[in-house]
Amino acid sequence: MSTEKDTRAPKAQQSHTIKKPETEGTIGGTISIEINEKKLTVPLGTTILDACKQNQIHVPTLCHHDDLCIAGVCRVCVVEVEGMRTLQASCAFPITAPIKVKTSTPEVRKARRHIIDLMLSEHYGECYSCIRNGNCELQSLAKEYGVDGYTFGHVDKPTYEIDNSSYSVIRDMSKCILCKRCVRTCIDLQEVGVLEAIDRGDKTHISTFLDKPLADVICINCGQCINRCPTAALRANDPSDEIWNAIDDPKKHVVIQTAPSPRAAIGEEFGLEAGNSMTYQLNTALKRIGFDAVFDTNFTADLTIMEEGTELLIRLKKALVDKDASVKLPQFTSCSPGWVKYLEHFYPEYIDNLSSAKSPQQMFGALIKTYYAEKIGVDPADVVSVAVMPCSAKKFECNRPEMTDSGFKDVDFGLTTREAAKMIKEAGIYLPEMPKTHFDSPFGDASGAGLIFGATGGVMEAAIRTVVELVLGVKVEDLFEQGNIIPVRGFEGIKYVELPLGDKVGPVPDILKSLVPNWDWLKGATLKVAVVHGTANAKKVMDDIKAGGKFSECHFIEFMACPGGCLGGGGQPIPTTLEIRQKRAKAIYDEDMSLDVRKSHENKHVLKIYEEFLKDGPCGHLSHKLLHTHYTKRGKYMA
Partner 1 sequence: METTVISKATKRTGPVLFADYKRGDGIKKALQMGRDNVLLEVRESKLKGRGGAGFPTATKWMLTAAATCPEKFLVCNADEGEPGTFKDRVLLLEYPELVFDGMVIGGYTIGAKQGIVYLRGEYEYMLKSLEDYLEQMRKDNLLGKNILGVEGFDYDITIRLGAGAYICGEETALIESLEGHRGESRNRPPYPVNTGYNGRPTSVNNVETLASIPHIMMRGGEWFATMGTDKSTGSKLFSISGDCGKPGVYELRWGATIRDILKLVDAQDTKAVQVGGASGVCLPESQFDRQLSYEDTSTGGSIMIFNKNRNMLSILKNFMEFFVEESCGQCTPCRIGNVKLLEGVEMIEKNEFTFEYIRNLKELGKTMQIASKCGLGQSSPNSFISILENFKDEIFNTNRNGGSK
Binding site for partner 1 (CB under 8 A): 1, 3-4, 10-12, 15-16, 70, 72-76, 78, 85-87, 89, 92-94, 96, 107, 110-111, 114-115, 118-119, 121-122, 151-153, 177-178, 196-197, 199-204
Measuring CA to CA, how many Å separate 376 from each of 28, 75, 367, 607, 608? 69, 60, 12, 20, 16
Q: How far is the CB of 168 from partner 1 (least distance, A)?
A: 27
Cα-to-chain-centroid distance, residue 534: 8
Helix (H) or strand (E) holding 527, with range, is strand 526-533
- Report yes or no: 45 and 57 within 8 Å, Cβ to Cβ: no
Rank residues 63 and 266 by Cβ distance to partner 1 and give the closer one: 63
Relative to beta strand 78-81, strand 88-89 is antiparallel
- Report yes or no: 532 and 494 within 8 Å, Cβ to Cβ: yes
Q: Which three-class secondary structure state does DSSP give residue 31? A: strand
Q: How far is the CB of 123 from partner 1 (least distance, A)?
A: 10
Rank residues 28 and 524 by Cβ distance to partner 1 and give the closer one: 28
Name residues whose C-beta falls within 8 Å of residue 123's C-beta, 6 or more positions apart in sequence.
138, 154, 155, 174, 175, 177, 231
Point out the residues that are catalytic. 308, 311, 335, 355, 394, 397, 402, 566
Angle between helices 578-594 and 260-269 (to 10 degrees): 120
Rank residues 203 and 323 by Cβ distance to partner 1 and give the closer one: 203
What are 529's strand-pairing partners?
497, 556
CA 41, CA 91: separation in Å to the nearest integer? 18
CA 607, CA 302: separation in Å to the nearest integer? 10
Rank residues 17 and 164 by Cβ distance to partner 1 and give the closer one: 17
Query: Phi/psi of residue 74, each to 5°?
Result: -75, -30
Rank residues 57 and 87 by Cβ distance to partner 1 and give the closer one: 87
CA 389, CA 418: separation in Å to the nearest integer? 9
Q: How far is the CB of 75 from partner 1 (least distance, A)?
A: 5
Of residues 413, 478, 455, the one with CA closest to residue 560: 455
Q: How far is the CB of 21 from partner 1 (least distance, A)?
A: 16
Q: How far is the CB of 204 from partner 1 (least distance, A)?
A: 3
Rank residues 9 and 343 by Cβ distance to partner 1 and give the closer one: 9
Rank residues 103 and 304 by Cβ distance to partner 1 and give the closer one: 103
DSSP secondary structure, 87-128, as one string: -EEGGG-B--S--EEES--HHHHHHHHHHHHHHHHH--S-GG
Rank residues 3 and 326 by Cβ distance to partner 1 and give the closer one: 3
Angle between helices 417-426 and 260-269 (to 10 degrees): 50
Q: How far is the CB of 87 from partner 1 (least distance, A)?
A: 5
Cα-to-chain-centroid distance, residue 108: 38
The reply to whether omega before 98 is within 30° of 0 (cis) is: no
* Exposure of 172 in the CB half-sphere (CA atoms within 13 A): 19
Q: How far is the CB of 214 from partner 1 (least distance, A)?
A: 20
Measuring CA to CA, how many Å separate 148 from each of 74, 111, 132, 266, 486? 21, 16, 19, 33, 53
Q: How far is the CB of 461 from partner 1 (least distance, A)?
A: 40
CA 170, CA 359: separation in Å to the nearest integer? 24
Q: How far is the CB of 589 from partner 1 (least distance, A)?
A: 39
